[in-house]
Structure 1
Amino acid sequence: MLYVILVTSILTSLYEFKKFKEKQYVREIVFSSILLIIGVILIILRIANIKLPTPLNGIQILFQPISRLLTEMLS
């Protein structure tokens, strides 16, 4: 499964980057490369059953102090 994902991502990136290179879109090449690398890393970690934090954890860390403050003020 890992090889299928890697080969598919490489072939897709070569196809897309060829179009971008013809049109001289350097920023798009860099941005899509970064997104592709992040996506492939996340898929590999998911396949390896490595527990990934959800965005909800970060939201809770940010808003929990505000919630406590508002609860104390309103009670």
Structure 2
Amino acid sequence: MTFQLLSELDELNAALEKDGVTGSELLRKLDDIYVALTKFASDYPTTWQYLCQSALSTGEMTLGDALSAIEWGVNAIDGEGE
């Protein structure tokens, strides 16, 4: 592992500890959120696209960005045990 990755894992572990949550608990929550967002995108594709484009035009984080962040978080937590 690189120094940067180790530093990020240390920061993640500190955040988990501060929030009083384990990695596995957080993975379950993130999975629930991910499933809900992807179902929303699938069920309401036009609304999803509108919301993403509207947020993008204001410079805010889009729902697509949120999905990417959740995927990154899951990968970071899953990689923790390696």
**Smaller-chain TM-score range?**
0.3 to 0.5
Greater Rg, structure 1 or structure 2? 1
Compare relative contact order (CA 8 Å, sep 6+) and give the higher one, 1 or 2: 2
TM value normalised by structure 1: 0.39
